[in-house]
Amino acid sequence: MKKNYRKPTQRTEKAADQPNELMRLNRYIANAGVCSRREADKLIEGGQIKVNGKVVTELGTKVKRSDKVKYQGKTLNPEKLVYVLLNKPKDFIATTDDPQERKTVMQLVANAAEERIYPVGRLDRNTTGLLLLTNDGELAERLTHPSYEIQKLYQVDIDKPITDEDFIEIENGVVLEDGAAPVDEIGLVGPERTSLGVSLHIGRNRIVRRIFEHLGYEVIRLDRVMYAGLTKKDLSRGKWRYLNKAELIKIKHLGRKK
């Protein structure tokens, strides 16, 4: 499977920060991390948004960044949009907070942004690899919704060589207790037949591990090496970087419904 890498850069694509810049109200709300633009339109139509003390219900309304926009009595802050790519190590939870006080990925990106960013989707505690964190609610919704079919590539190390029969069954789509689990591509990594590359766009919970466990294999190591066209080339385990302009354009293009 081809892997196209780009050299990391410490630049980030952020929204303009001019106080008199006009933007659509739904974008303002989405930038504040409340929800996606589509959901923001519903809040506006439902009379749940106030601009400078007045309820606004007209879609397409434009506001200045300096305007005071309120939702549920709270003033919203149209944060600058931040996009951070992390190479997650083992033993970190992909969440903003953990009641059991285990290590979370937020500790690894603590200095990445003043804005409140959060993980897009999940990687379980023992899975390593690429994880995107952002405060762009609209993009996060696109990348995690099944209808957008965002592709992920994993390297899977298992406890014993895979048989030809099981390889073909995975290639054709294993049927699990919650339905079929189709993969886009599967390939061997090396001659030992214990390391494989698996590309898929479905995102059900623990789906890669469950595919192999269903056939009697134990997953020793699971590493996400590509996510939505982004790769971890030159990004060491536990390190992060900002998306560059080309990557951001590409990932936003991928986040369009098929």
The count of residues in the chain is 258
What's the CA gap between 221 and 203, in Å, rounded? 18
* H helix count then E strand count, the chain: 6, 17
Q: How far apart are CA 190 and CA 2, in angstroms?
A: 15
Q: How far is CA 159 from the centre of its chain?
A: 29
Q: What is the helix (H) or strand (E) element at residue 48, kind and residue range?
A: none
208 and 152 in contact (C-beta within 8 Å)? no
* Helices 245-254/137-144 angle, 10° precision: 50
Residues designated catalytic: 124
Q: Could you tell me if 45 and 59 are in contact, meaning their C-beta atoms sit under 8 angstroms apart?
A: yes
What is the CA 140 to chain-centroid distance, rounded?
Answer: 6
Secondary structure (DSSP) of 136-189: -HHHHHHHHSGGG---EEEEEEESSPPPHHHHHHHHH-EEETTEEE--SEEEE-
Three-state DSSP class for residue 30? helix
Interstrand relation of 240-242 and 179-181 (parallel, antiparallel or unpaired): unpaired
